[in-house]
Amino acid sequence: MNILVVRTDKLGDFITALPAIYVLKQYNKSNKVIACVAPLNEELARSCSFIDEVIVDRAQSSVFTLVKKLKEAKIDASITLFSNTRVALAQFLARIPLRIAPATKIAQLFYNKRIKQRRSLVKMAEFEYNLELTCALFPNIELEYKKPLLAFDDAKEIYKEFCATNKISKEIIAFHVGFGGSSDANLTLDEYEVLIRDVLKRHKYQVVLTFGPDERDLCREMQERLSGEKVLFYLSDDGIVHFAKLISNFKLFVSTSTGTYHLASLVGCATMTFFADTLFASASRWKGVGDEKLQKHFMLPHDLKKRDEVIQKIREEFLSL
């Protein structure tokens, strides 16, 4: 059986799909599991041993280009974890026999098995809603998955080389101060600077600030702020998989709820993460796919006095490390 799983949005959203893809493969390893992803997630998708084939949907291309790819894959059933009209229409035109998706938006008209989930109620996390959809295909499927879900044989060697190149002899606490996607809350750069200096004062850990390839200006600003401090500034120009291998060995990854946070949780790194104080953007919905014991979540209120209280709790958390 050829099974298509569709999640064509951002990095963090795609990572929330990986547990569902994993359990589908484990259910029957003779099944072929195909992931349809956005271009930015192609490299990560191809690194997953439980994904047999990757179809990349380039939104700027014609929908008929995607239809052709789907037809060539000879798909028996599809599960669309987050839909839009483009991917829904493509599956309909490709005549996939069984097309499963949440019963939301106009796009649901193109599916022949629609599941009511009401994700806005946040009764589960995003990845748990994704797992639930697999039951529509296999009612007796086992929804447990290994943690960390993604591991690499050469990750320790890459980390050793990184430490040797940068003369690092201490455990690493990483701060990722930027964000993209749909993250609704983050610390200010001033607040991050306070936390970073708190860590530096203890002389116990190596501080690494990580930045995406498009965050060079932000990197320069943080270099100016922390001039003279023993901080390593790392631009992840070597691709998402190399970055995943590296952070899997870090002591802690500190960031807002963005794609890199989900990546850190995926590969088993402990995380400290900042969320908006709303149900839709909360940790209840967007917790990582990794071990919950390795995740510390902080909701950032709009009220300035309450926010200061949360910041103080975060500072106290660092003192306990």
pLDDT tens for 56-104 read 999 899 999 999 999 999 999 999 999 999 999 999 999 999 999 999 8
CATH number for 107: 3.40.50.2000
141 belongs to a structural domain: no
Q: Are 205 and 285 found together in one domain?
A: yes
Q: Are 56 and 100 found together in one domain?
A: yes
Please state the rounded mean pLDDT for residues 162-180.
Answer: 95
Kindly tell me if the per-residue pLDDT of 182 is higher than 60: no
Q: Are 17 and 5 in contact (CB under 8 A)?
A: yes
125 belongs to a structural domain: yes
- Expressed as residue numbers, the domain containing 102 is 2-134
Please state the rounded mean pLDDT for residues 180-197.
Answer: 85
> What is the pLDDT, as a whole number, of residue 179?
79
> What is the pLDDT, as a whole number, of residue 209?
98
pLDDT tens for 126-164 read 999 999 999 999 999 999 999 999 999 999 999 999 999
pLDDT tens for 103-128 read 987 889 999 999 999 898 999 999 99
Kindly tell me if the per-residue pLDDT of 52 is higher than 80: yes
> What is the pLDDT, as a whole number, of residue 183?
57
Q: Which of 239, 235, 205, 208 shows the shortest CA–CA distance to 220?
A: 235
